[in-house]
Chain A
Amino acid sequence: ETGVTQTPRHLVMGMTNKKSLKCEQHLGHNAMYWYKQSAKKPLELMFVYSLEERVENNSVPSRFSPECPNSSHLFLHLHTLQPEDSALYLCASSLMGPATNEKLFFGSGTQLSVL
């Protein structure tokens, strides 16, 4: 148990659906991240929040919309996704924020399938 909890673990959705992924960290960290992990591709950073403020947005399509209401919770709202968006979505947290010596604590991920 890493202290980072993601729900749901698995999600199947149609291209017209709207769904949300939820992440909660119990570590008292100040930074939270969304990563996308596709087969045979590197982990891709999507969004970074530090002290509830978005500090990084890696040219992610607008059909992915993050929300960070407080330092313990992070959401990823999904709408009108494409089949190529099917992947494992990982949430992570770190103590202070994006920095060179920060250890990332990952959640178990949400395996998303878009039909």
Chain B
Amino acid sequence: QKEVEQNSGPLSVPEGAIASLNCTYSDRGSQSFFWYRQYSGKSPELIMSIYSNGDQEDGRFTAQLNKASQYVSLLIRDSQPSDSATYLCAASFITQGGSEKLVFGKGTKLTVNP
């Protein structure tokens, strides 16, 4: 069973701090990793993708990938109350039939306190 594990939280940080969200995945063959943000009552939206070891930065967001440790993280610098949401980690897997699919974690709820 392919799995993506996340700490469900809630994670609470003060405004302006760095929020660190972590994720591990079970399939060493996974090649692509994604972070989706889901506001309460809304649908998920993609905020970061990462495919190779190291860091991928986009504004205040940095995704980090370590394939040897099967570990993905998302750092949010200068956290704002508007960043309060549930963050879903997803990893790609190859099915037995040869197709590719995304498997999501349960999500980490982040609260940024003003």
Q: Which of A41, A45, A107, A109 contacts B102 (CB 8 A)?
A: A45
Q: Which of A98, A103, A106 contacts B99 (CB 8 A)?
A: A98
B95, closest chain A residue (CB): A56
Task: Give the residues in chain B near A43, CB-CB below 8 Å.
Answer: 44, 88, 90, 104
- Distance in angstroms from A32 CB to nearest chain B CB is 14
Task: Give the residues in chain B near A48, CB-CB below 8 Å.
Answer: 99, 101
Give the docked Cα–Cα distance between A107 and B92 (Å).
Answer: 21
Interface, chain B (partner A; CB < 8 A) = 4, 8, 31-32, 34, 36, 42-46, 49, 51, 88, 90, 92, 95, 99-107
3 smallest CB-CB distances across A and B, nearest first, come from A106-B43, A100-B32, A43-B104
Apart from A98-B102, A106-B43, A106-B45, 6 more pairs, CB < 8 Å: A42-B103, A42-B104, A45-B102, A48-B99, A99-B100, A104-B36
